[in-house]
Amino acid sequence: MKTALTELLGIDIPLIQGAMAWISDARLVAAVANAGATGVIAAGGLTAGELSSQIRKAKTLTDKPFGVNVMLMAPNKEEIVEVICAEYVAFVTLGGGDPVPYIKRLQASGSKVIPVVPNVKLAQKMEVEGADAIIVEGMEAGGHIGKITTIALMTQVIPHVNLPVVVAGGIVDGRGMAAALTMGAVGVQMGTRFMVAEECSVHPKAKEMLIAAKDTDSVVTGWTCKYTARSLKNALTTKLQQLEIEGGKATEQEIKRLILGAGKKGMIDGDTEWGMIMCGQSLYPITKIESAKTIINTIVDEVKQAINKATALIL
C-alpha cells in the first residue's frame, strides 16, 4: 500500500495512531511504529520536560518514524514546539488552534507538518501556508470534535486541495480504511481502536467499558462552553447533558468544573462514572485487547478484502 503518506513519512502502512491526551505515549507509539504503521505522542497535558523524555524513550523502543501532536490550546505550546525542534521527530500534527506560526519552524527542524483541519477553507489555507499534508477529522471522532462528519469532509476536502489528505473520525477497521482510500485519502488516523491495544496505558476498567460499548453509547457534551467532546455515556455525561440542555440551570463555570481533568480521571485513574472515556462513535469493532501488531495486521487484511470485493462489483 504505497500512498503519498507512506512516501512522505517513510512508513509501510498508511495508518496513523492518533494523538490521545494522557494515553498515546512512547510505549504505544513505538509498538505501532514497529508494526509498520506510525503513531503520535500526545503532548497535551505534558510539560516540555515530560515530552522530551517521551520522545527519547520512544527512540529507544523503535527506529521507525513517529510523530508528536501539539495541542494548540495548551498554555505551554511554545516550549512544546521548542522541544520538538530540539529532539527531532518525523512529523508533527497540530490541532485546536492556528498552526500557521509553527509550520516553517517545525519544517526547519526536519519534521513534516500535518495540521488537523475542520473544513475546506482551512484546508486550502494550509496548502498556501506550505503544510506537508493535512488530517480531516469528522465529528464521529472521540475527544474534542467539530461539526462536519467524516464522509462530508472526504467528499468535500479531498478534491479541493493539492495536499495529501489523511482521514480520521469513526474509522476503526479495514473496511473504513478501504473506504477512505477509495475516496482518495492517502491514509487514515485511528484513535479509539488503539485504546484497547495491549501497549496502551488506558485503565483496564475503561478498556472493559469500551469493549462492552455499542453504536449508541457515545455522547457529545460540553458544547455550551466550547469543550465539545465525544465520550462514553456515564454518570458525568448524563449530568452534563441535563445541565446543558436545561439551559440557564448551570453556569458555564459549573460545567467547566465538571469537565476539566475528567479525561485523565476516566482513562488513567479508571473512574468510569465521573471521568470521561473519550472515544469515537464506531465502537462495535472494539471487541478485545490485542497487541498493536495484531490490530494493524488485521486492519491491513480487511483493507485488501474490502477493495477486492468492490473491484469484483465493477468488473
* Interface pick for its own copies out of 53, 124, 149, 201 (rule CB under 8 A): 149
CB of 302 to its own copies, least distance (A): 10
> 43 or 306: whose CB is closer to its own copies?
306
Closest CA to 16 of 197, 200, 189: 189
H or E segment at 168?
strand 165-168
Residue 268: beta bridge partners?
Answer: none
- Pattern 267-286, binding to its own copies, x per CB under 8 A? -------------xxxxxx-
Q: Which stretch binds its own copies (CB under 8 A): 42-50, 91-99, 138-146, 271-279?
A: 138-146
Neighbour-count burial of 16, counting CB atoms closer than 10 A to its CB (0-12 exposed, 13-18 middle, 19+ buried): buried
Nearer to its own copies, 68 or 296 (CB): 296
CA nearest to 194, candidates 220, 176, 168, 172 = 172
Taking CB under 8 A as the criterion, the residue among 40, 85, 181, 210 binding its own copies is 181
Query: Which residue in 13, 80, 18 sits closest to 44, CA to CA?
Result: 80
Q: Which is nearer to its own copies, 139 or 292 (CB)?
A: 139
- Minimum CB distance to its own copies, residue 234 (Å): 17
Which span (92-100, 124-132, 241-249, 252-260) binds its own copies, by CB under 8 A? 241-249
Among 87, 132, 137, 140, binds its own copies (CB under 8 A): 140
Cβ atoms within 10 Å of 57's Cβ, excluding its own: 15
- 47 vs 182, beta carbon nearer its own copies: 182
By beta-carbon proximity to its own copies, the closer residue of 89 and 167 is 167
State the number of binding residues for its own copies (CB under 8 A): 61
Which cell is 137 given?
477529522
| Separation CA 240–CA 223 (nearest Å) | 10
**What are the start-end ranges of the H helices in 158-203?**
174-182, 192-195
- Considering the rule CB under 8 A, would residue 295 count as an interface residue with its own copies? no
Among 11, 58, 158, 267, binds its own copies (CB under 8 A): 158
* Comparison of 204 and 248: residue with beta carbon closer to its own copies: 248
DSSP per-residue string spanning 80-112:
HHHHHHHH--SEEEEESS--HHHHHHHHHTT-E
Query: How many other β-carbons are positioned within 10 Å of the β-carbon of residue 10?
Result: 12
151 binds its own copies (CB under 8 A): yes
Segment 92 to 131, residues that bind its own copies, using CB under 8 A? 119-121
Q: Is 204 in the site for its own copies (CB under 8 A)?
A: no
Considering only 171, 236, 240, 262, the residue that binds its own copies (CB under 8 A) is 171
Tell me if 148 contacts its own copies by CB under 8 A: yes
The position carrying cell 478534491 is 159
Residue type, 115: P
Q: Look at the block and give the residue holding cell 515530560.
A: 50
Closest among 155, 199, 156, 191 to 170, alpha carbons compared: 191
The Cα–Cα gap between 175 and 305 comes to 8
Surface-to-core class of residue 251, CB atoms within 10 Å of its CB (0-12 exposed, 13-18 middle, 19+ buried): exposed
Of the two residues 85 and 148, which places its CB atom closer to its own copies in the complex? 148
Q: Where on the chain is the footprint of its own copies (CB under 8 A)?
A: 1-3, 119-121, 138-140, 147-160, 169-173, 175-176, 178-184, 214-216, 224, 245-248, 280-285, 303-304, 306-311, 313-314
